[in-house]
Amino acid sequence: MSDGSGAASPAAVDADAAEVMARVARTFDLATRFFPAPVRTDVRRLYLVLRTLDDLVDHADPRAAAATDELVAWTAGAEPASRETRLLADLAGRHPGFPRDAVADFAGGMRADLAGPAHRTEADLALYCYQVAGTVGRMMCAVLGVREGAGAEADAGARALGGAMQRTNILRDLAEDGRAGRVYLPDDALRAAGIDPADAASVLAGFPSLPEPTRRAIIAPQAERAEADYAAGMAAIGALANGRRAVGAAGLMYREILRTIVREEHGGRRDRVVVSRGRKGLLLLRALSGGR
Protein backbone atom coordinates (compact mmCIF):
# COMPACT_ATOMS: atom_id res chain seq x y z
CA MET A 1 0.00 0.00 0.00
CA SER A 2 1.26 3.50 -0.76
CA ASP A 3 3.16 4.69 2.29
CA GLY A 4 5.45 7.36 0.92
CA SER A 5 8.27 6.33 3.28
CA GLY A 6 10.52 4.18 1.11
CA ALA A 7 11.55 2.36 4.30
CA ALA A 8 10.85 -1.23 3.28
CA SER A 9 13.93 -3.23 2.34
CA PRO A 10 14.03 -5.13 -0.98
CA ALA A 11 13.84 -8.40 0.97
CA ALA A 12 10.73 -7.23 2.82
CA VAL A 13 9.11 -6.08 -0.41
CA ASP A 14 9.87 -9.40 -2.09
CA ALA A 15 8.49 -11.36 0.85
CA ASP A 16 5.32 -9.27 0.72
CA ALA A 17 5.08 -9.76 -3.04
CA ALA A 18 5.46 -13.53 -2.79
CA GLU A 19 2.86 -13.77 -0.03
CA VAL A 20 0.32 -11.62 -1.85
CA MET A 21 0.62 -13.56 -5.08
CA ALA A 22 0.40 -16.95 -3.34
CA ARG A 23 -2.68 -15.84 -1.39
CA VAL A 24 -4.61 -13.90 -4.01
CA ALA A 25 -3.52 -15.29 -7.39
CA ARG A 26 -3.07 -19.01 -6.86
CA THR A 27 -3.42 -19.93 -10.52
CA PHE A 28 -0.87 -17.37 -11.69
CA ASP A 29 1.43 -18.09 -8.74
CA LEU A 30 1.56 -21.73 -9.78
CA ALA A 31 2.42 -20.75 -13.33
CA THR A 32 5.19 -18.33 -12.29
CA ARG A 33 7.16 -21.18 -10.76
CA PHE A 34 8.38 -21.82 -14.31
CA PHE A 35 9.94 -18.37 -14.61
CA PRO A 36 13.71 -17.98 -14.13
CA ALA A 37 14.28 -16.79 -10.55
CA PRO A 38 15.21 -13.14 -11.34
CA VAL A 39 12.27 -12.82 -13.71
CA ARG A 40 9.93 -14.37 -11.15
CA THR A 41 11.03 -11.78 -8.59
CA ASP A 42 10.26 -8.89 -10.95
CA VAL A 43 6.92 -10.40 -11.97
CA ARG A 44 5.96 -10.66 -8.31
CA ARG A 45 6.99 -7.05 -7.71
CA LEU A 46 4.87 -5.92 -10.64
CA TYR A 47 1.94 -7.97 -9.36
CA LEU A 48 2.35 -6.45 -5.87
CA VAL A 49 2.12 -2.95 -7.34
CA LEU A 50 -0.94 -3.62 -9.44
CA ARG A 51 -2.73 -5.70 -6.81
CA THR A 52 -2.15 -3.05 -4.14
CA LEU A 53 -3.66 -0.38 -6.36
CA ASP A 54 -6.53 -2.65 -7.40
CA ASP A 55 -7.32 -3.41 -3.75
CA LEU A 56 -7.47 0.29 -2.90
CA VAL A 57 -10.17 0.68 -5.54
CA ASP A 58 -12.04 -2.53 -4.70
CA HIS A 59 -12.22 -1.61 -1.02
CA ALA A 60 -13.21 2.01 -1.74
CA ASP A 61 -10.13 3.10 0.20
CA PRO A 62 -9.99 6.91 0.50
CA ARG A 63 -6.38 6.77 -0.67
CA ALA A 64 -7.34 5.28 -4.05
CA ALA A 65 -7.78 8.58 -5.88
CA ALA A 66 -4.43 9.90 -4.68
CA ALA A 67 -2.71 6.63 -5.62
CA THR A 68 -4.17 6.94 -9.11
CA ASP A 69 -2.94 10.52 -9.39
CA GLU A 70 0.55 9.38 -8.32
CA LEU A 71 0.56 6.81 -11.12
CA VAL A 72 -0.43 9.36 -13.73
CA ALA A 73 2.12 11.89 -12.45
CA TRP A 74 4.90 9.29 -12.64
CA THR A 75 4.00 8.38 -16.22
CA ALA A 76 4.23 12.08 -17.06
CA GLY A 77 7.77 12.32 -15.68
CA ALA A 78 7.32 13.14 -11.98
CA GLU A 79 9.63 11.58 -9.41
CA PRO A 80 8.17 8.43 -7.82
CA ALA A 81 6.29 9.39 -4.66
CA SER A 82 5.07 6.04 -3.28
CA ARG A 83 6.20 2.46 -2.84
CA GLU A 84 4.24 1.53 -5.96
CA THR A 85 5.73 4.19 -8.23
CA ARG A 86 9.22 3.52 -6.85
CA LEU A 87 8.85 -0.15 -7.76
CA LEU A 88 7.58 0.78 -11.22
CA ALA A 89 10.47 3.19 -11.70
CA ASP A 90 12.93 0.46 -10.74
CA LEU A 91 11.33 -1.99 -13.19
CA ALA A 92 11.29 0.62 -15.94
CA GLY A 93 14.95 1.40 -15.32
CA ARG A 94 15.99 -2.21 -15.69
CA HIS A 95 13.65 -3.33 -18.47
CA PRO A 96 14.01 -1.30 -21.67
CA GLY A 97 10.74 -0.46 -23.32
CA PHE A 98 8.67 -0.69 -20.15
CA PRO A 99 5.40 0.91 -21.34
CA ARG A 100 4.60 3.95 -19.24
CA ASP A 101 1.57 4.52 -21.45
CA ALA A 102 0.23 1.14 -20.25
CA VAL A 103 0.58 2.36 -16.66
CA ALA A 104 -1.37 5.50 -17.57
CA ASP A 105 -4.04 3.38 -19.24
CA PHE A 106 -4.19 1.15 -16.14
CA ALA A 107 -4.79 4.29 -14.08
CA GLY A 108 -7.69 5.04 -16.43
CA GLY A 109 -9.15 1.67 -15.52
CA MET A 110 -8.76 2.48 -11.84
CA ARG A 111 -10.64 5.74 -12.34
CA ALA A 112 -13.39 3.88 -14.20
CA ASP A 113 -13.74 1.47 -11.28
CA LEU A 114 -13.83 4.32 -8.78
CA ALA A 115 -16.68 5.87 -10.74
CA GLY A 116 -18.46 2.51 -10.96
CA PRO A 117 -18.83 0.35 -14.07
CA ALA A 118 -21.09 1.84 -16.72
CA HIS A 119 -20.55 0.19 -20.08
CA ARG A 120 -23.04 1.01 -22.79
CA THR A 121 -21.55 -0.98 -25.63
CA GLU A 122 -19.24 -3.91 -26.28
CA ALA A 123 -16.60 -1.39 -27.34
CA ASP A 124 -16.80 0.17 -23.85
CA LEU A 125 -16.31 -3.24 -22.23
CA ALA A 126 -13.41 -4.08 -24.55
CA LEU A 127 -11.71 -0.80 -23.61
CA TYR A 128 -12.19 -1.53 -19.91
CA CYS A 129 -10.77 -5.05 -20.29
CA TYR A 130 -7.71 -3.54 -21.96
CA GLN A 131 -7.31 -0.88 -19.27
CA VAL A 132 -7.37 -3.24 -16.32
CA ALA A 133 -5.80 -6.38 -17.84
CA GLY A 134 -4.40 -5.85 -21.33
CA THR A 135 -2.15 -3.18 -19.84
CA VAL A 136 -0.84 -5.74 -17.34
CA GLY A 137 0.04 -8.05 -20.22
CA ARG A 138 1.97 -5.26 -21.91
CA MET A 139 3.93 -4.53 -18.74
CA MET A 140 4.61 -8.25 -18.36
CA CYS A 141 6.05 -8.35 -21.88
CA ALA A 142 8.63 -5.75 -20.90
CA VAL A 143 9.61 -7.69 -17.78
CA LEU A 144 9.79 -11.04 -19.57
CA GLY A 145 11.52 -9.64 -22.65
CA VAL A 146 10.52 -9.99 -26.29
CA ARG A 147 12.37 -11.67 -29.14
CA GLU A 148 14.02 -9.30 -31.59
CA GLY A 149 11.58 -8.11 -34.20
CA ALA A 150 8.55 -9.55 -32.38
CA GLY A 151 7.48 -6.46 -30.46
CA ALA A 152 4.24 -5.82 -32.34
CA GLU A 153 3.24 -9.50 -32.12
CA ALA A 154 3.93 -9.63 -28.39
CA ASP A 155 2.04 -6.39 -27.72
CA ALA A 156 -1.05 -7.52 -29.62
CA GLY A 157 -0.96 -10.91 -27.94
CA ALA A 158 -0.65 -9.35 -24.48
CA ARG A 159 -3.66 -7.15 -25.11
CA ALA A 160 -5.69 -10.12 -26.32
CA LEU A 161 -4.72 -12.54 -23.53
CA GLY A 162 -5.24 -9.93 -20.83
CA GLY A 163 -8.63 -9.02 -22.24
CA ALA A 164 -9.67 -12.68 -22.38
CA MET A 165 -8.70 -13.23 -18.76
CA GLN A 166 -10.59 -10.15 -17.61
CA ARG A 167 -13.70 -11.16 -19.54
CA THR A 168 -13.43 -14.59 -17.88
CA ASN A 169 -13.29 -12.92 -14.46
CA ILE A 170 -16.39 -10.89 -15.28
CA LEU A 171 -18.35 -13.98 -16.29
CA ARG A 172 -17.20 -15.93 -13.24
CA ASP A 173 -18.25 -13.15 -10.85
CA LEU A 174 -21.57 -12.08 -12.37
CA ALA A 175 -23.64 -12.97 -9.29
CA GLU A 176 -21.10 -11.70 -6.75
CA ASP A 177 -20.73 -8.39 -8.55
CA GLY A 178 -24.50 -8.10 -8.96
CA ARG A 179 -24.97 -8.49 -5.21
CA ALA A 180 -22.46 -5.67 -4.73
CA GLY A 181 -24.36 -3.48 -7.20
CA ARG A 182 -21.70 -3.76 -9.91
CA VAL A 183 -22.54 -4.64 -13.51
CA TYR A 184 -19.70 -4.95 -15.99
CA LEU A 185 -21.70 -6.32 -18.91
CA PRO A 186 -22.63 -3.62 -21.43
CA ASP A 187 -26.18 -2.38 -21.81
CA ASP A 188 -26.48 -3.67 -25.37
CA ALA A 189 -25.56 -7.22 -24.28
CA LEU A 190 -28.04 -7.08 -21.42
CA ARG A 191 -30.85 -5.90 -23.67
CA ALA A 192 -30.03 -8.64 -26.18
CA ALA A 193 -30.56 -11.15 -23.36
CA GLY A 194 -33.89 -9.55 -22.40
CA ILE A 195 -32.61 -7.75 -19.28
CA ASP A 196 -33.31 -4.09 -18.59
CA PRO A 197 -29.95 -2.46 -17.69
CA ALA A 198 -31.71 -0.57 -14.88
CA ASP A 199 -32.55 -3.91 -13.24
CA ALA A 200 -29.34 -5.71 -14.14
CA ALA A 201 -27.67 -5.76 -10.71
CA SER A 202 -30.62 -7.38 -8.96
CA VAL A 203 -31.19 -9.82 -11.84
CA LEU A 204 -27.54 -10.87 -12.07
CA ALA A 205 -27.34 -11.29 -8.29
CA GLY A 206 -29.43 -14.41 -8.78
CA PHE A 207 -27.71 -15.45 -11.98
CA PRO A 208 -27.51 -19.24 -11.33
CA SER A 209 -31.30 -19.29 -10.81
CA LEU A 210 -32.10 -17.62 -14.13
CA PRO A 211 -33.54 -19.84 -16.88
CA GLU A 212 -30.82 -21.59 -18.87
CA PRO A 213 -31.72 -19.81 -22.14
CA THR A 214 -31.23 -16.45 -20.41
CA ARG A 215 -27.91 -17.53 -18.96
CA ARG A 216 -26.84 -18.79 -22.38
CA ALA A 217 -27.83 -15.49 -24.02
CA ILE A 218 -25.56 -13.66 -21.58
CA ILE A 219 -22.64 -16.08 -21.37
CA ALA A 220 -22.31 -17.42 -24.92
CA PRO A 221 -21.50 -14.16 -26.79
CA GLN A 222 -19.00 -13.09 -24.14
CA ALA A 223 -17.39 -16.53 -24.08
CA GLU A 224 -17.06 -16.47 -27.87
CA ARG A 225 -15.23 -13.12 -27.72
CA ALA A 226 -12.98 -14.40 -24.93
CA GLU A 227 -12.18 -17.60 -26.85
CA ALA A 228 -11.11 -15.56 -29.87
CA ASP A 229 -8.85 -13.46 -27.65
CA TYR A 230 -7.40 -16.55 -25.95
CA ALA A 231 -6.57 -17.98 -29.38
CA ALA A 232 -4.84 -14.76 -30.46
CA GLY A 233 -3.03 -14.32 -27.17
CA MET A 234 -1.81 -17.90 -26.90
CA ALA A 235 -0.61 -17.85 -30.51
CA ALA A 236 1.68 -14.91 -29.70
CA ILE A 237 3.38 -16.43 -26.65
CA GLY A 238 6.32 -17.50 -28.80
CA ALA A 239 7.23 -13.83 -29.17
CA LEU A 240 8.37 -13.74 -25.54
CA ALA A 241 12.04 -14.14 -24.65
CA ASN A 242 11.36 -15.68 -21.23
CA GLY A 243 8.50 -17.37 -19.43
CA ARG A 244 6.71 -18.80 -22.44
CA ARG A 245 5.71 -21.99 -20.62
CA ALA A 246 4.54 -20.08 -17.57
CA VAL A 247 2.41 -17.67 -19.57
CA GLY A 248 1.07 -20.60 -21.57
CA ALA A 249 0.15 -22.43 -18.36
CA ALA A 250 -1.64 -19.37 -16.99
CA GLY A 251 -3.54 -18.94 -20.25
CA LEU A 252 -4.57 -22.60 -20.35
CA MET A 253 -5.80 -22.54 -16.75
CA TYR A 254 -7.80 -19.34 -17.18
CA ARG A 255 -9.26 -20.63 -20.43
CA GLU A 256 -10.35 -23.74 -18.56
CA ILE A 257 -12.28 -21.55 -16.10
CA LEU A 258 -14.14 -20.03 -19.04
CA ARG A 259 -14.88 -23.41 -20.56
CA THR A 260 -16.09 -24.75 -17.23
CA ILE A 261 -18.56 -21.87 -16.96
CA VAL A 262 -19.89 -22.70 -20.42
CA ARG A 263 -20.02 -26.46 -19.80
CA GLU A 264 -21.91 -26.12 -16.53
CA GLU A 265 -25.15 -24.85 -18.02
CA HIS A 266 -23.75 -21.43 -18.84
CA GLY A 267 -23.18 -20.24 -15.29
CA GLY A 268 -25.68 -22.48 -13.53
CA ARG A 269 -23.14 -23.46 -10.90
CA ARG A 270 -23.84 -21.81 -7.54
CA ASP A 271 -20.32 -21.87 -6.12
CA ARG A 272 -17.34 -20.06 -7.62
CA VAL A 273 -15.85 -21.83 -10.61
CA VAL A 274 -12.33 -23.11 -10.01
CA VAL A 275 -10.06 -25.52 -11.85
CA SER A 276 -9.43 -28.68 -9.83
CA ARG A 277 -5.89 -29.57 -8.77
CA GLY A 278 -5.93 -32.61 -11.01
CA ARG A 279 -7.01 -30.59 -14.02
CA LYS A 280 -4.41 -27.91 -13.25
CA GLY A 281 -1.77 -30.62 -13.19
CA LEU A 282 -2.80 -31.88 -16.62
CA LEU A 283 -2.79 -28.34 -18.03
CA LEU A 284 0.66 -27.68 -16.56
CA LEU A 285 1.98 -30.86 -18.18
CA ARG A 286 0.47 -29.68 -21.45
CA ALA A 287 2.20 -26.31 -21.12
CA LEU A 288 5.51 -27.97 -20.22
CA SER A 289 5.30 -30.17 -23.30
CA GLY A 290 4.82 -27.09 -25.46
CA GLY A 291 1.19 -27.86 -26.26
CA ARG A 292 -1.43 -25.20 -26.82
pLDDT value of position 269 = 65
Mean pLDDT of the chain: 88
Cα 155 from Cα 140, distance rounded (Å): 10
Centre a 10 Å sphere on the Cβ of residue 180 and count the other Cβ atoms it contains: 12
For the ranges 38-42, 160-164, 252-256, 258-262, the maximum mean pLDDT occurs at 160-164
Summarize the confidence of residues 73-79 as an average pLDDT. Answer: 96
Q: Which domains does the chain have, with CATH numbers?
A: 10-288 (1.10.600.10)
pLDDT value of position 275 = 57
- Which pLDDT band, with edges at 50, 70 and 90, does 286 fall under? low
pLDDT value of position 292 = 36
Q: What is the pLDDT of residues 220-255, one digit of tens each?
A: 999 999 999 999 999 999 999 998 988 988 899 899
Summarize the confidence of residues 47-65 as an average pLDDT. Answer: 91
Cα 23 from Cα 29, distance rounded (Å): 9
pLDDT value of position 274 = 63
pLDDT value of position 236 = 97
Cα 143 from Cα 140, distance rounded (Å): 5
Cα 181 from Cα 176, distance rounded (Å): 9
- Which pLDDT band, with edges at 50, 70 and 90, does 23 fall under? confident
154 CB contacts (<8 Å, ≥6 apart)? Answer: 141, 146, 147, 236, 239, 240
68 CB contacts (<8 Å, ≥6 apart)? Answer: 53, 107, 110, 111, 114
Return phi, psi of residue 250, to 5°. -65, -40
Centre a 10 Å sphere on the Cβ of residue 208 and count the other Cβ atoms it contains: 15
- With 0-12 / 13-18 / 19 or more C-beta atoms within 10 angstroms meaning exposed / middle / buried, residue 291 is exposed
Q: What is the pLDDT of residues 196-206, one digit of tens each?
A: 999 999 999 99
Summarize the confidence of residues 206-225 as an average pLDDT. Answer: 95
Percent of the chain with pLDDT over 90: 70
The answer on pLDDT for 1 being more than 70 is no
Percent of the chain with pLDDT over 70: 89
Q: Among 89, 129, 82, which Cα is nearest to 109's?
A: 129
- Which pLDDT band, with edges at 50, 70 and 90, does 69 fall under? very high
pLDDT value of position 231 = 97
For the ranges 25-34, 109-118, 261-270, the maximum mean pLDDT occurs at 109-118
The answer on pLDDT for 50 being more than 70 is yes
